[in-house]
Amino acid sequence: MPVLLPQLTRRDFLKRAALAGAAFALVPQSHAGLFGKSRDKNTFAFFSDTHIAADATLKHSNVNMADNLAACVRELAAWPVKPATVIVNGDLAFESGRPGDYGTFGKLIEPVRALAPIHLSLGNHDERENFWQAFPRDVTKQSSRLHRQATVFASDRANWFLLDSLEVTDTAPGEAGSVQLDWLARELDLRPDKPALVVCHHNLQAPGGTTGLKDTAALEELFARHRQVKAYIFGHTHNWHVEQHASGVQLVNLPPTGYVFKEGRPSGWVRATLARDGAEFELRSLDPQHPEHAQVKRLKWRNSIG
């Protein structure tokens, strides 16, 4: 299964830029700005709910989603350091994950590949087979029978577990499924000694809810058994918010890169930097005048026992 868009070398990036021509109008003026800076191995960037359509001029809720993603890409490219990894957490496509949606998304996200590898997860507006077919020469393969866009990768201060909660395309609820949750439990059992950060598109669903993760109770039970799980990072609700779960797991609700559901809420991306015992998550609002722009949430990890 494809799980990763590898970082491009300078040579490959410039070659692609030359071939793409006008499609690379988003690239910063100086290519050196992409390649001539150091990497922070503890910093990560998150985009979520990009909702890109094949037609880059399309608007929804008075927002041009392609323009928003392009603006986030430019800001990340101008960031003082390269992130270790960029994660785009689901709903890459506009409504039903058509092939053209992923074609446009790929062009918009391409400059980021000069900075860092990109992990892509799927949400309820994605279509798994169309997504997999969109990046055939760029993806790596995962030896698994999950038939899901799931993976685990290690960083210096945490292990990252990316889940696929797409159940039915263009239908709001999501589900991890027992096979994927069993896989997650096994992978966590193999990695007990480092903080585990779980990334999934759908939010944990409150009792009586109908649009979140349908098997929330099973995932919460898994969090209770695996105390190394420190944070659950998700999108779907289009609402930047951070709070602590009753278990002590930190819940980080990413803002949409595309459009918001509720007027006045911020859209943009998130910078996360890991510490030994926690992390800070910073909102980078597309509106620099938004009252929550540059807001930093400093989180402390729960204890591994107790």
Q: Render pLDDT for 221-267 as a digit per residue (tens, 0 to 9).
A: 999 999 999 999 999 999 999 999 999 999 999 999 999 999 999 99
| pLDDT confidence of residue 22 | 45
**Would you state the pLDDT for residue 29?**
45
Per-residue pLDDT band at 135 (split at 50, 70, 90): confident
pLDDT at 27: 47
Q: Which residues pair with 5 in a beta bridge?
A: 118
- Burial environment of residue 107 by CB neighbours within 10 A (0 to 12, 13 to 18, 19 or more): buried
pLDDT at 288: 97
Q: Which tokens belong to 256?
A: 């949409």
CATH code for the domain of 155: 3.60.21.10
Q: Which residues pair with 118 in a beta bridge?
A: 5, 86
Q: How many CA atoms does the CB half-sphere of 260 hold within 13 Å?
A: 17
Predicted confidence at residue 147, as pLDDT, reads 82
Query: What is the predicted pLDDT for the residue at 57?
Result: 96
Question: Which tokens sit at 46?
Answer: 């998150």
Q: What is the mean pLDDT of residues 8-12?
A: 79
Per DSSP bridges, beta strands 118-121 and 241-244 are unpaired
Residue 71 and residue 103 in contact, taking contact as beta carbons nearer than 8 Å: no
Does the residue 306 lie in any domain?
A: no
| C-alpha distances out from residue 163 to 79, 87, 90, 181, 213, Å | 28, 12, 10, 9, 12
As a whole number of angstroms, the distance between CA 278 and CA 174 comes to 28
CA distances from 11 to 8, 48, 74, 222, 286 (A): 8, 29, 20, 44, 31
Q: What is the mean pLDDT of residues 89-104?
A: 97
Question: Residues near 78 by Cβ (< 8 Å), separated by ≥ 6?
Answer: 28, 33
At 7 the pLDDT is: 87
* Overall domain count for the chain: 1
pLDDT at residue 138 in the model: 62
Strand order in the sheet with 159-162: 151-154, 159-162, 196-199, 229-234, 250-253, 241-244
- Band of residue 34 on the pLDDT scale cut at 50, 70, 90: low
Which range of residues forms the domain containing residue 128? 4-300
Give the model's confidence band at 306: pLDDT under 50 very low, under 70 low, under 90 confident, else very high: low
What H or E segment, with its residue span, contains residue 85?
A: strand 82-89
Residue 280 Cα to chain centre, angstroms = 16
Distance CA 268, CA 291 (A): 13
d(C-alpha 233, C-alpha 251), whole Å = 6
pLDDT band at 143 (very low <50, low <70, confident <90, very high): very low
pLDDT confidence tier of residue 19, bands split at 50, 70 and 90: low
Share of the chain above pLDDT 90, in %: 79
**Cβ atoms within 10 Å, residue 247:** 15
pLDDT tier for residue 6 given thresholds of 50, 70 and 90: confident
- Which tens digit of pLDDT belongs to each residue from 157-182? 999 999 999 999 999 999 999 999 99
Phi/psi of residue 190, nearest 5 degrees:
-80, -10
Which pLDDT score is estimated for 98?
A: 97
User: What is the distance between the alpha carbons of residues 221 and 225, in angstroms, rounded to a whole number?
Assistant: 6
Q: Is residue 305 part of a domain?
A: no
